[in-house]
Amino acid sequence: MEDLASQLKQVKTVAIAGHVKPDGDCVGSCLATYNYIATWFPEIEVDLYLEPIPNIFKFLKNTDKICHGCESDKQYDLCIVQDCGDTGRLGKAVKYFDTARRTVCIDHHISNLSFADENYIFPEVSSTSELVFGLLEEEKITKEIAECIYVGIVHDTGVFQYSSTSSKTMGVAGILMDKGIDFSRIVDETYFAKTFGQNKILGQALLNSELYLDGQMIATVITRAEMDRYQVMPRHLEGIVSQMRNTKGVEAAVFLYENEEGSWKLSLRSNGKVNVAEIAVRHGGGGHVRAAGATMEGEAQEVIQAVLEEIQEQLSAWGIC
């Protein structure tokens, strides 16, 4: 696949979808594609399907056009799925993928098994948003499209910090800055700003945390009751596991929060030695080598123990556990 425009030839209807519980890269990359098609291909009917998005992203153009329900049974000429490693992560929007005449996947998850007709998958690239940038003509990237891509890159690189950040990523960010975006405000207001409740639950998560494996693993649990106490939703818990990973001496961070049905959402982060994607995939999830997740059943301590054993196994291969 050379560019997005070539995929749109003879296409009259397009559905775009991303993963459940959309994060910055998912929202940014999907909206960038949506806004590109809506701006430059007005003859094409385009719909974007995403679960409700965090309020911090609502300044991006056309967030009010996002379809949150999947009531219609429309069949599309083309379905583009982004930032999504498998069809199970599409949630209800999977029906548009299943019924579309042609499908395209743009993604950077190492666990992605190339499930679409056309796959544009580069696990070493920082973000799906950086991939979308490469598929658009530079002169057609408006300031509004640039804002979407910048949000995605900032969120998936931890503000240009993670090892997936390349000199190319920085070059792309520079081009986006030249489009006139308010880059420091985007970083402040979408990445660093936290509500009082979010800061409190971060504190609670850190207070609940324990070290394992001689300080090489850190784990914590947040229950539904704690989320209720601080009046936060699961989507407000982003950033907690990254803060845990910053603990000196830690190789892997394990964060569990309770889903509505009582199962556990598992978030894993590594400082390099542990491949957490491998662990997540073994439990039906996926992600990247240094950031991955899954959903697991059972008691929280059983889940931690199961993950601990796999982390220990990997660390022992390094001769350090």
* 86, interface contact from Mn ion, ligand 5GP, none, CB < 5-8 Å by kind: ligand 5GP
Residue ranges in 79-108 that form contacts with ligand 5GP under rule CB under 6 A: 85-86, 89
Write each residue from 233 to 272 as x if it is in contact with ligand 5GP (CB under 6 A), else as -, in one continuous string.
Answer: --------x-------------------------x-----
Q: Which class for 45: exposed (0-12), middle (13-18), buried (19 or more C-beta within 10 A)?
A: middle
Residue 83 near Mn ion by CB under 5 A:
yes
The angle that helices 128-135 and 24-40 make with each other, rounded to 10 degrees, is 20
C-beta of 54 vs 197, nearer to Mn ion: 54
Q: Which residue is nearest to Mn ion (CB)?
A: 25
Residue 156 near Mn ion by CB under 5 A:
yes
User: Residue count at the site for ligand 5GP (CB under 6 A)?
Assistant: 17
Instruction: Check if the beta carbon of residue 100 is closer than 8 Å to that of residue 78.
Output: yes
Write each residue from 289 to 318 as x if it is in contact with ligand 5GP (CB under 6 A), else as -, in one continuous string.
Answer: --xxxxx-----------------------
- Cα–Cα distance, 97 to 138 (Å, whole number): 28
Residue 287 near ligand 5GP by CB under 6 A:
yes
C-beta of 39 vs 166, nearer to ligand 5GP: 166
Handedness of CA 229, 206, 196, 290 (dihedral sign): negative
CB of 91 to Mn ion, least distance (A): 16
- Cα–Cα distance, 48 to 15 (Å, whole number): 6
φ, ψ of residue 252 in degrees (nearest 5):
-145, 140
C-beta of 115 vs 183, nearer to ligand 5GP: 115
| CA proximity to 82, closest of 135, 38, 146 | 135
Stretch that binds Mn ion, among 45-53, 75-83, 140-148, 212-220 (CB under 5 A): 75-83
DSSP 90: G
Residue 285 near ligand 5GP by CB under 6 A:
yes
Number of residues that make up the chain: 321
Instruction: Check if the beta carbon of residue 37 is closer than 8 Å to that of residue 7.
Output: no
Instruction: Check if the beta carbon of residue 134 is closer than 8 Å to that of residue 32.
Output: no
Residues that bind ligand 5GP (CB under 6 A): 19, 85-86, 89, 109, 111, 241, 267, 285-288, 291-295
Residues that bind Mn ion (CB under 5 A): 25, 83, 128, 156
